[in-house]
Amino acid sequence: MVITNSFTYIAFLMFIAGGLLFLEKKTKWKVFNVVPPLVWIYVLNMVFCTMGLYSSDACSAAYGSLKNNILYAMIFVMLLRCDFRKLGKLGPRMIAIFMGCAFTLAIGFIVCYPLFMGVLGGGEKTWAATAALYASWVGGSANMAAMQDALPVDAGAYSCALALDTVCYSLWIALLLLAVRYANKWNNSVKANTTGLDAIAEAANAEVAKDKKHATASDWIFLIGLSLMVSAVFQWLGASANEGLKAIGLGMFDKGTCVTVFITIFGLICAMTPLGKLPAVEDLSSVYLYAVVSLLASTASVTDLLTAPMWVVYGIAILVIHVVLMYILCKVFHWDLCMCSTASVACIGGSASAPIIATAYDPSFAGIGVLMGVLGAAIGNFCGLGMGAILHLFV
Note the pLDDT tens digit of each residue in 71-99.
889 888 888 877 777 777 788 889 999 99
Report d(CA 247, CA 149) in Å as an integer: 22
Work out whether the CA dihedral 14, 60, 260, 95 comes out positive or negative.
Answer: positive
Task: Measure the CA–CA gap between 390 and 106, rounded to whole angstroms.
Answer: 10
Q: What is the pLDDT of residue 233?
A: 94
Q: What are the domain boundaries of the chain? A: 85-281+300-394
226-269, pLDDT tens digit by residue? 999 999 999 999 888 878 877 776 555 667 778 888 888 898 89
Q: How do the pLDDT tens digits run along the chain, 395 residues long?
A: 789 999 999 999 999 999 999 998 888 777 777 677 877 888 888 889 888 899 899 999 999 899 889 988 988 888 887 777 777 778 888 999 999 999 999 999 999 999 998 888 655 668 999 999 999 999 877 788 878 777 888 878 888 888 888 788 878 887 888 888 888 999 999 998 877 777 887 777 777 666 667 888 999 999 999 999 999 999 999 888 878 877 776 555 667 778 888 888 898 899 888 888 888 888 898 898 889 888 888 887 766 666 568 898 999 999 999 999 999 999 999 999 999 999 999 999 887 778 878 888 887 888 888 889 888 888 988 999 999 999 999 87
pLDDT in tens, 339-370: 999 999 999 988 777 887 888 888 788 888 88
pTM: 0.78
